[in-house]
Structure 1
Amino acid sequence: MTNQFKILVVDDEKNIVDVVKAYLEKESYEVITAMDGEAALSIFNEEDIHLIVLDLMLPKITGEEVCTKIRATSSVPIIMLTAKADENERIEGISMGADDYLTKPFSARELVVRVRALLRRSYRDASPMADILIFNNGDLEVDIKKMIVKKQGKAVSLTTNEFKVLTILLTNPGQVFSRDQLVEKAFGMDYEGFDRTVDTYIKNIRHKIEDNPKEATYITTIYGMGYKFISS
């Protein structure tokens, strides 16, 4: 029996691919592999991928380019692998859209733990929902599995955290969530941010999905209480 999550592992070193694949499959994840950036993008565009383990040093198309191209349309969780141990390299990787970062050589067991934690955070409330949610006759379309958001047919790029907040709201239409509740549901009790960070996420989401962010029709503010999503 397979897990509901499908993971794409991308690395040009076959021994690493084989080990990571074996460990993840032992956890009942479905694993697809690629050994260059071009193949990785092709697979991502054809499959419902829930998380990517992505090496930076890839042939044909670099891991950095793969990450940038995916982030242009999707907030799918990405764990980067690299032989570069320099702090600036790690910061750059996170800045371009990675959600986590492991330096080679790494422990396959640690990678599995990070995969499990990132999937749990990213898809906390998504499993009971339909794969694709459509609002206002197609004005807004959200693919829960691929973490893709489209506004009037055009893909918009949300960060992973923005997508988490949006998912909590749109999967519970009409329900008012306080900042504390959104933090707990989207990120868990161990989240190191603070409740006012949610205001920033809401502001960014509105700029991406609303016709007029100042007169929001999807995410409305309930003063003194929090936010709610209105579907129609």
Structure 2
Amino acid sequence: MKKVLLIEDDLDIAELERDYLQLNGYHTEIVQDGAAGLKRATSGQFDIVVVDLMLPQVSGYDIIREIRKQQEIPVIVVSAKNEDIDKIRGLDLGADDYLTKPFSPAEFMARIKSHLKRYERLKGSAVGQEVILHKGLEINTGSRQVFVNGKEVQLTTKEYEILFFLASHPSIVFTKERLMEAIWGNEYYGDTSTIAVHIYKVRKKIEADPVNPVYIETIWGTGYRFIP
């Protein structure tokens, strides 16, 4: 049984999330303050963490940062903070997804299932190495390392998956919806602005000038492509 940690100080929301998770067969634990949440989240006992940003004692941002120092499990932010800057900050620290309150329980469950399935596929994938080389960019699929001009770049799981997917299909233009389906899975639906935020973050890390990219190009009104 998959184990889900909910770090949420609003008990009504936490219990709603727990009820839906338990109905779908997930073992669920609720923690209502950031300090206890951080301790549980880094215990290595959970398959996925759902975290609010505004928490007593320790913020959700700090929890995400500490999780990413130790683990690559999926982390989903559920927050009332709906500004782009909040989403960018949460995703930049390593969160895999961002869901804004109020939210649909059906969408919440779809995202949980999608991220867990994706994580299981990644863990079970073959270790065989392949290297993609392009204009100073090196993607090692075996070690999941990315280098730009010989210097390693640290990408989150979703950042790596987006970059690898696009680089594996050079010249092909993908809509945001198609990228969501490819990276998050068929069960995912929701705010496609998540893709734009992740692309923004990848460009910041691999492009010398993110405003004039040489790797990932925006096709206005359509989507994105890896520049051949």
Query: TM-score normalised to the size of structure 2?
Result: 0.56
Deviation (angstroms), 1:189 = 7.1
* Counterpart-to-counterpart distance in 1, 2:101 and 2:7: 14
* Counterpart-to-counterpart distance in 2, 1:56 and 1:92: 11
Partner residue of 1:32 out of 11, 25, 29:
29
Shift in alpha-carbon separation, 1:105–1:161, aligned structure 2, 3 A: closer
Partner residue of 2:8 out of 4, 8, 11:
11
Partner residue of 1:190 out of 182, 192, 213:
182
Q: Are residues 1:105 and 2:102 paired?
A: yes
Q: Alignment partner of 2:102: what SS?
A: coil
- Of 19-28 and 42-51, deviating more is 42-51
1:122-144 deviation line (CA, Å, top 9, x unaligned): 11153699xxxxxxxxxxxxxxx
8 Å contact from structure 2 (residues 76, 95) kept in 1: yes
Query: TM-score normalised to the size of structure 1?
Result: 0.55
Runs (5+) with no aligned partner, structure 2: 127-153, 162-167, 170-178, 185-194, 196-201, 207-228
Instruction: Give the superposed CA RMSD.
Output: 3.2
* Counterpart-to-counterpart distance in 1, 2:81 and 2:159: 28
8 Å contact from structure 2 (residues 41, 49) kept in 1: no
8 Å contact from structure 1 (residues 79, 98) kept in 2: yes
Q: Which amino acid aligns with 1:62?
A: S
Q: Alignment partner of 1:79: what SS?
A: strand
Following superposition, which runs of at least 4 residues in structure 1 exceed 6 angstroms of deviation?
none
TM alignment of 1:183-222, pairs within 5 A: 190-191=182-183
Q: Which amino acid aligns with 2:61?
A: E
Shift in alpha-carbon separation, 1:127–1:191, aligned structure 2, 3 A: closer
8 Å contact from structure 2 (residues 53, 77) kept in 1: yes
- Give aligned-pair identity as a percent: 32
Deviation (angstroms), 1:46 = 3.1
Partner residue of 2:71 out of 50, 74, 82:
74
